[in-house]
């Protein structure tokens, strides 16, 4: 177990270093921030001076090494766009993204598993067919379009829900939360649906097919023969055995919910890290892009680690095999 | 600390008093201010947001004329053409209660001229600023500068005491990794005070009770909530759903939709920005010469290109009517603009082909058109249309559309033969265009001239108008210069962009040609 953990940690560091190197290699293709930072009246001398001060003339690996050296000390530099420390900006933006991701994630899990089980048990009912057909929409429509559609229906036509922003937020120990105000909760609804819909349908379809697989197994038949109640067969015996693939997918999807909230945040002007990243790309705000990409890769790496550890908890076979080895 | 507590209590009490008829303006556009430090960024949205809270000596009214703001009158000193005398407004206070006087002007001007300032380019001609009384300052320029007041419209005034007390004398410098007090706090003389600000999310401002202009401007709103909304569809949706009162940038395809909605209207006006193509007129093409020559260096080829661009079609099809076709790269209402100069040739494919054949290119030649895709209204679509039009006379144009972050460095490095550019004229004077776009590129002139156009006679005149204080004589020179520039066709004009502001129909707003909305001018019916 310990050896496994250490090995995974070393691998994680290597992954992070590679992601950083690739990002820095790519920044030069995004463009040059200098023009965005200087006004129309700038002279050639101003441009060269700024490039020099930002260190943009240095080779990419030198820029990367400097970034790493400062990052290790907790200094992620200053945003070219906002002129404030990147660490502060990200800390300020993280709550918006994390709250949105948490709500979407919980929604995707609860409805995904629930509907997956229901459609598996009542596989021939018309309701199941309807849900399955609708789920195709969730899987195939791009997030951007879903967001705009929801805005059109619920904001413009019905005027029930806000089309942008987080509503009012309350500051709790440096964490700005939208959970404590009515407008904050209402503002969460559309973005959360937009962001979580794909994951929800994905989880639902996986749970359903796994359930169908499991329900055919002998031990389920024996359980029925023993006269166990349907509810206990479905949820205690069958569902539990479908969870390994569900956890893998859910884990990775949680990462994508945070990482790919970029589109949802842009559509709903949700002031989170995704919006920050889009702004950074447009402005070529290298410190923000670098910090964000590193943060996202840390997130993915840790989620993978947690998922691996969860396997141990859920699947006894893994524990036994490891012990033998 | 005590002071601010007192102030906020006072404000709270005031706001309760005013709550009975408090009007809030909910306002959105695509971008947000980059900083609140008035001298740290020379960028449109940044200056616009700041100008709700801070003020310059002279500003430009939405109608385009210069308007006394913190200075009440100004004139060139009788015996010295290099000195401008500004009389300051008396009885003006900053938001913290401090009095505005000449000391603050000297301080602010020097801060704006300092090494770290991004405003120093606009007022590069200023040599010295001195106080000659509590409400009078003299600005000394390097040589006579007849249009100095127009250069001051984006130089905001700060309180010397406040700035010094908060260690914000040095302008915020992003390159050096500095964060200053003044980049997140405001103490100006403007009509609105800063209540709260979250960058890229929301900025709340409240009417300043002690504003000097309370009786001079409509000041219809007690509170202003400014929200950047990047996504154009969301922005329009939020206006349609009634969550916003005013949005500044309506995509051309949504204008009719907004107009058709009850309770909303769209106000339009030509923007202070011309869109055009720049051509490499030197002896060598960046992409490699054709038969040892650069076809664009031949005036006949440029005339052929000028003749094949169908500006009316671009207006009707690409811009859905939202542009004013141009025969010159100068927006209307800039000093020097005339109807005759703006005349453009009717598209004539046959004549253009004949000109090309005369120049020795009967079968055309290949060329790459470089174009931004996120800078001007429908920029990429305009280029696409132009590529098709060039094809009609046999020029094999290839479109290369990239983001502005890639495009502008490419233009600046002159690694292009045929490029799109948009140009606004903050000074409202032709000199600005000549300085940056027509003068031979060197250390201090022609920094945006990537055409390699160089005309010694024009260069001499550009330097001459800068110091010509006889305005009649100066205007005559400008007219002459434009004629030469227009004939040489280093740039192929396309059009002047239109601005479209959408709002509740209860608002009365004059569209500002510089796209600088200032809430103090807004009225409610």
Query: Could you read off the pLDDT of A192-240 as tens digits, one per residue?
Result: 999 999 889 988 998 998 888 888 888 888 888 888 888 888 887 888 8
Select from B162, B181, B161 the least CA-distant residue to B171.
Answer: B181
Residue ranges of alpha helices (H) inside B359-395 are 379-392
Q: Of A92, A159, A164, which has the smallest distance from its Cβ to B229's Cβ?
A: A164
Closest CA to B322 of B377, B380, B272: B377
Closest CA to B419 of B433, B434, B409: B409
Could you tell me how far CA A140 lies from the centroid of its own chain? 18
Average pLDDT of chain A? 87
Provide the β-strand partners of residue B269.
B499
Closest CA to A28 of A66, A69, A56: A56
Structure tokens at B62: 């939405």
Closest by Cα among B231, B425, B459 to B333? B425
Please tell me the distance in Å from B361's CA to the nearest CA on chain A. Answer: 35
Each residue's pLDDT expressed in tens, for chain B with a length of 525 residues: 344 444 444 444 444 444 445 799 999 999 999 899 999 888 889 999 999 999 999 999 988 889 999 999 999 999 999 999 999 999 999 999 999 999 999 999 999 999 888 898 889 899 999 999 999 999 999 989 988 999 999 999 999 999 999 999 988 877 776 778 898 999 999 999 999 998 888 999 999 999 999 999 999 999 999 999 999 999 999 999 999 999 998 999 899 999 999 999 999 999 999 999 999 999 999 999 988 999 999 999 999 999 999 999 999 999 999 999 999 999 988 999 999 999 999 999 999 999 999 999 999 999 999 999 989 999 999 999 999 999 999 999 999 999 988 999 899 999 999 999 999 998 899 999 999 999 999 888 898 999 999 999 999 999 999 888 888 999 999 999 999 999 999 999 999 999 999 999 999 999 999 999 999 999 998
Quote the CA–CA distance of B98 and B116 in Å, as a whole number: 26
- Return the DSSP state at B296: G
Report the pLDDT value the prediction gives residue A325, as an integer from 0 to 100: 47
Spatial distance between the Cα atoms of B204 and B208, rounded to a whole number of angstroms:
13
The count of other CB atoms within 10 Å of the CB of residue B386 is 25
Check residue B335 and report its DSSP letter.
B
> Could you say which residues from 216 to 275 on chain A have a Cβ atom under 8 Å away from some Cβ of chain B?
266-269, 271, 275
Task: For CA atoms A78, A30, B493, B292, give the dihedral sign.
Answer: positive
Q: What is the pLDDT of residue A260?
A: 76
What's the token pair of residue B207? 């009417």
pLDDT at B18: 42
Q: What is the pLDDT of residue A318?
A: 66
Check CB contact under 8 Å for B234 and A38. no
Q: How far apart are CA B400 and CA B406, in angstroms?
A: 11
Q: Are B333 and B65 in contact (CB under 8 A)?
A: no
State the Cα torsion A130-A134-A139-A144 to the nearest 10°: -170
- Give helix A286-314 / helix A86-121 axis angle, nearest 10°: 40
Between A5 and A225, the higher pLDDT residue: A225
d(CA B488, CA B358): 18
Entry pTM:
0.87
Does residue B160 contact residue B140 with C-beta atoms inside 8 Å? no
Q: Are A16 and A24 in contact (CB under 8 A)?
A: no
Q: Say what the ipTM of the complex is.
A: 0.85
Whether B405 sits inside 8 A of A36 (CB atoms) is: yes
| Distance from C-alpha of A321 to C-alpha of B189, rounded to nearest angstrom | 74
Strands B24-29 and B246-247: parallel
> What fold does the segment set A93-284 form as a domain?
MetI-like fold (1.10.3720)
Portion 80-99 of A in contact with B at CB < 8 A: 80-85, 89, 92
The b/e string for A106-122 (b: 16+ C-beta within 10 A; e otherwise) is ebbbebbbebbbbbbbe
**Tokens standing for B198?**
């979250």
CA distances from B406 to A27, A31, A180 (A): 11, 4, 43
pLDDT of residue A320: 62
Whether the CB-CB separation of B94 and B162 falls below 8 Å is answered with yes
A46 in contact with B, Cβ within 8 Å: yes
CB count in 10 Å sphere of residue A232: 11
B31 neighbors B232 (Cβ within 8 angstroms)? no
Q: Which of B151, B173, B175, B515 to mutate to test the interface with A (most CBs of A within 10 A)?
A: B175
Alpha-carbon gap, residue A233 to A220, rounded angstroms: 7
Nearest neighbour of A165 by CB, restricted to B178, B227, B233:
B227
Q: What share of chain A is helix, strand, coil (3-state, %, to 5)?
A: 75, 0, 20
Tokens of B363: 């079968």
pLDDT at B12: 46
Contact B262/A at CB under 8 A:
no
Name which of B34, B228, B409 is nearest A31 (Cβ-Cβ): B409
Q: What is the pLDDT of residue B21?
A: 59
Give one DSSP letter per residue of A216-256, joined into a string.
TSHHHHHHHHTT--HHHIIIIIIHHHHHHHHHHHHHHHHHH
């Amino acid at each position: 177990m310990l050896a496994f953990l250490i090995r995974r940690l070393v691998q994680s560091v290597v992954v992070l270093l590679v992601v950083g190197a690739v990002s820095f290699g790519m920044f030069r293709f995004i463009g040059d921030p200098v023009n965005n930072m200087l006004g129309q009246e700038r002279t050639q001398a101003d441009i060269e001076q700024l490039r020099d001060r930002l260190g943009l003339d240095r080779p990419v690996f030198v820029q990367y090494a400097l970034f790493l050296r400062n990052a290790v000390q907790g200094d992620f530099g200053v945003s070219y766009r906002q002129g404030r420390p990147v660490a502060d900006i990200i800390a300020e933006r993280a709550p918006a993204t994390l709250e949105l991701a948490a709500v979407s994630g919980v929604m995707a899990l609860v409805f995904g598993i629930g509907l997956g089980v229901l459609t598996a048990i009542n596989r021939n009912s018309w309701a199941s067919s309807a849900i399955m057909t609708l789920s195709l929409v969730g899987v195939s429509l791009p997030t951007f379009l879903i967001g705009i559609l929801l805005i059109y229906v619920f904001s413009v036509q019905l005027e029930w829900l806000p089309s942008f922003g987080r509503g009012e937020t309350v500051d709790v120990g440096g964490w700005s939360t939208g959970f404590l105000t009515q407008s904050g909760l209402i503002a969460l609804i559309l973005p959360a649906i937009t962001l979580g819909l794909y994951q929800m349908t994905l989880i639902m379809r996986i749970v359903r097919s796994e359930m169908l697989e499991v329900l055919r197994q002998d031990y389920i038949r024996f359980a029925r023969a023993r006269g166990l109640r349907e509810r206990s067969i479905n949820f205690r015996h069958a569902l539990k055995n479908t969870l390994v693939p569900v956890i893998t997918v859910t884990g990775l999807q949680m990462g994508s919910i945070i990482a790919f909230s970029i589109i949802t945040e842009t559509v709903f002007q949700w002031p989170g890290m995704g919006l920050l990243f889009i702004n950074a790309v447009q402005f070529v705000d290298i410190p923000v892009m670098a910090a964000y990409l590193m943060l996202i890769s840390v997130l993915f790496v840790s989620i993978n680690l947690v998922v691996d550890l969860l396997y141990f908890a859920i699947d006894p076979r893994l524990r036994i095999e490891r012990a033998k080895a | 600390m005590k002071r601010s507590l007192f102030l906020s209590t006072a404000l709270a009490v005031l706001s309760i008093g005013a709550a009975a008829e408090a009007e809030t303006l909910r306002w959105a556009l695509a971008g947000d201010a980059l900083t609140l430090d008035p001298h740290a960024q020379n960028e449109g949205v940044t200056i616009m947001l700041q100008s709700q809270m801070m003020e310059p000596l002279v500003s430009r009214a939405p109608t385009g004329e210069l308007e006394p703001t913190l200075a009440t009158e100004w004139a060139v000193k009788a015996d010295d053409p290099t000195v401008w005398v500004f009389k300051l407004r008396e009885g003006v206070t900053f938001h913290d209660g401090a009095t505005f006087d000449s000391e603050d002007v000297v301080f602010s001007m020097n801060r704006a001229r300092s090494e770290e300032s991004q405003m120093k380019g606009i007022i590069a001609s200023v040599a010295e600023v001195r106080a000659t009384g509590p409400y009078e300052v003299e600005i000394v320029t390097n040589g006579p500068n007849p249009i100095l007041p127009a250069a001051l419209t984006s130089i905001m005034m700060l309180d010397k005491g406040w700035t010094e007390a908060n260690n914000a004398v040095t302008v915020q410098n992003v390159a050096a990794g500095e964060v200053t007090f003044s980049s997140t706090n405001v103490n100006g003389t403007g009509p609105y005070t800063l209540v709260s600000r979250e960058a890229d999310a929301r900025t709340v401002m409240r009417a300043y009770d002690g504003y000097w202009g309370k009786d001079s401007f409509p000041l219809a709103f007690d509170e202003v909530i400014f929200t950047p909304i990047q996504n154009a569809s969301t922005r329009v949706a939020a206006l349609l759903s009634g969550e916003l009162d005013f949005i500044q940038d309506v995509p051309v395809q949504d204008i009719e939709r907004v107009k058709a909605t009850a309770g909303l209207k769209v106000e339009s006006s030509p923007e202070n920005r011309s869109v055009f193509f720049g051509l490499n007129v030197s002896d060598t093409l960046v992409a490699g010469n054709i038969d040892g020559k650069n076809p664009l260096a031949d005036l006949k080829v440029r005339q052929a290109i000028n003749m094949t661009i169908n500006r009316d079609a671009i207006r009707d099809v690409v811009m859905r009517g939202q542009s004013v076709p141009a025969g010159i790269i100068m927006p209307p209402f800039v000093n020097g603009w005339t109807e005759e100069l703006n005349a453009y040739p009717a598209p004539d494919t046959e004549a253009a082909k004949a000109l090309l054949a005369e120049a020795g290119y009967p079968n055309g030649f290949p060329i790459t058109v470089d174009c931004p895709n996120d800078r001007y209204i429908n920029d990429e679509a305009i280029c696409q249309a132009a590529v098709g039009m060039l094809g009609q006379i046999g020029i094999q144009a290839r479109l290369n559309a990239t983001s502005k972050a890639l495009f502008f460095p490419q233009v600046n490095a002159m690694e292009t033969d045929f490029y799109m550019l948009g140009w606004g004229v903050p000074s409202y004077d032709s000199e600005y265009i000549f300085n940056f776009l027509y003068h031979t590129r060197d250390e201090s002139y022609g920094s945006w001239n990537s055409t390699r156009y160089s005309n010694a006679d024009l260069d001499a005149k550009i330097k001459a108008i800068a110091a010509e204080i006889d305005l009649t004589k100066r205007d005559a020179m400008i007219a002459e210069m434009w004629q030469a520039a227009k004939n040489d066709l280093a740039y192929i004009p396309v059009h002047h962009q239109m601005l479209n502001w959408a709002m509740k129909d209860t608002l009365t707003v004059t569209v500002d040609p510089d796209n600088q909305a200032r809430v103090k001018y807004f009225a409610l019916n």
